[in-house]
Structure 1
Amino acid sequence: LEETLGFRYGVAVSAENDAKAAALCEQWLGELKGVDTGAVMTLGTGVGIVVGGKLLHGSSFQAGELSWMITNQEAGLKEMAAYTGIRCSAVRMVERVNQELGNEDLADGLAAFAAIKSGNEEAGKIFRQYCLDVAVMILNLQTVINGEKVVIGGGISAQEILIEEIRRQFGEILQNNPILGQQVIPLEIVAAKFRNDTNLYGALFALLQGMQK
């Protein structure tokens, strides 16, 4: 892309994974600025990891693809339900809530969160399980990177109740296992500064970095 489009149009071109771009943005202008080790978890796409103050790409640019982490082996490894990408999908959670409510528009996030905030029992149950799944993914990530901060991105990160519930669920995991609680130091869990635009700013930063080389 860089070579083909750049040559054709005579402009600087760069390419970056969306979740990794989100991590670049938060490192540049947001919650990971000055943080040595942390991650941006874009609920719906992937995870960008910063280690030693640098974005981690891995040997073949696959670092941070936690969507392929197996968290439900009982579902069968051929089934997508076995993988974190489905269990921690914000789109899937919203669809399940709307389905439970009988709403025609299964993608209506505002309706789903209105039901959650109003205290609807079934909506709340689905939401809490979802936040627990995200908290488990954060714990699994933390055992590898021992980060200072995890930033939650994506459009859903604008919902303060989401961040609060993920924090609560993560704290409960540590409290419910004394040995785990003694060994794992709680980390900061915050919303992305630029919410759903985080990856766009990060893509710009990737381009600017490439132009300086």
Structure 2
Amino acid sequence: MMNTVCFDIGGTYIKYALVSNIGEILQQDKVETPYQKDAFQQEIAAIVNQFALDYEVNAVAISMPGYINPETGYAERAGALVYLDHMNLIELLSEKITLPIYIENDANCAALAERYSGSAQGIDNFIVMTIGTGIGTALFLNGSLFRGASFKAGEYGHSRINYQQQPHATMHDIFSTRVLVKRYKQLLGISSTEHVTGEAVFEAARKNPAVEALLTEWVQWICVGIYNLACTLNPDKLLIGGGVSANPELIPRIQAQMKHVDERWVTDFNVPIEPCRYLNDAGILGAYYFAAQQQTIKPVEEK
């Protein structure tokens, strides 16, 4: 059986897996992300070579942040991995790996995972918005990913939506989960160094009216972002991803607030809002589907 070694590269961890030619994850694990070019190159090669000792491997597929040219492998920006900025990553890794290497932006990979076996199967116009440390967006339009002229389409988190009051604040700075947690800590006088999850904020809101008001305002800002996407791109569906999307309260809260953003949401621009199917495995599977598109393997769509 032919297999693909798939990577989901983040600022803290590199998640990796061996994926079969029918999109089944056979093995997976993670390692800390190196912060030096040579160490990064060696780590990726070591993982691929280890799998190749026991399995037939036919390709390497990579999901990672940044402005990625999927045709050449050139990364104008590489997210938190700034030491990889302005580098051709396929050329870099090919110094240690002889297999074909495929690479795509992480949000785009999440969209591919949803399109082929997730919550957007059979849908040709949809948007994925991920809410986490920042706001990520992938645009799947007219049956394919829309990447833009220089592979920066979907960098929605850099948009400004409160210019009069916060002229320099981006969406990352207004409704990321990071900001929700930061404001929660400030509200309750919790140390900035204490670890607090988004889940903890939702739990506290059930008992504390001040936290409930904070959470409601945060959701309202998410709704403004969704409304702007819907009236600009007119998708069939909008999917919410990121770790917070696993909270069963989030989507109902968004749906309840959307009608208050603008009455035209109800009359003109209403679109189904659903959680992504994939959370931790989205990058891995999306990388696999991207590689499969480039090869003779046809991605298998679940029915």
TM-score with structure 2 setting the length? 0.63
Deviations 1:133-185 (A, max 9, x none): 111111101112101111100110010111111111112324xx3x564332x
8 Å contact kept, 2:199–2:247 = no
Q: Larger helix proportion, structure 1 or 2?
A: 1
Q: Does 1:193 align with 2:277?
A: yes
Matching of residues 1-213 of structure 1 within 5 Å: 1-44=89-132, 45-77=135-167, 79=168, 81=169, 83-104=170-191, 105-116=194-205, 118-174=206-262, 177=263, 181-184=266-269, 186-212=270-296
State the Cα deviation string for residues 107-136 of structure 1 (Å, max 9, x = none).
Answer: 3333222202x2311211111111111111
Query: Which deviates further from its counterpart, 49-58 or 89-98?
Result: 89-98
How far apart are the structure 1 equivalents of 2:90 and 2:216? Answer: 43
3-state SS in 1 of match to 2:164: helix
Q: Pick the structure with more strand per residue.
A: 2
Q: Distance in 2 between matches of 1:18 and 1:148?
A: 22
Following the alignment from structure 1 to structure 2, what is the Cα–Cα distance between the partners of residues 131 and 200?
29
Deviations 1:180-209 (A, max 9, x none): 64332x111111101243223212222222
**What amino acid sits opposite 1:109 in the alignment?**
G
> Quick one: distance in 2 between partners of 1:96 and 1:35?
37
2 CA distance for matches of 1:6 and 1:107? 40
More relative contact order, 1 or 2 (CA 8 Å, 6+ apart): 1
Instruction: Report the more deviating stretch, 152-161 or 10-19.
Output: 10-19
Report % sequence identity. 30
Structure 1 residues 24, 106: closer, same or farther in 2, change over 3 A?
A: same
Equivalent residues of 1:87, 1:133 under 8 A apart = yes
Letter in 1 for 2:114: E
TM-score where L is the length of structure 1: 0.87
CA RMSD in angstroms, aligned pairs only: 1.9
Which structure's CA Rg is the greater one? Answer: 2
Give the direction of change, closer, same or farther, for the CA distance of 1:52–1:159 in structure 2 (3 Å limit). Answer: same
Paired AA for residue 160 in structure 2: I
Task: Give the counterpart letter for 1:54 in structure 2.
Answer: S
Structure 1 counterpart SS, 2:252: helix
Structure 2 unpaired stretches of 5+? 1-88, 298-303
Any stretches of 5+ residues in structure 1 without a counterpart? none
User: Partners of 2:188 and 2:105 in 1: how far apart?
Assistant: 35
Asked whether the equivalents of residues 98 and 111 of structure 1 are also in contact (C-alpha less than 8 Å), the reply is no
Assess, with a 3 A threshold, how the Cα gap between structure 1 residues 196 and 102 changes in structure 2: closer, same or farther: farther
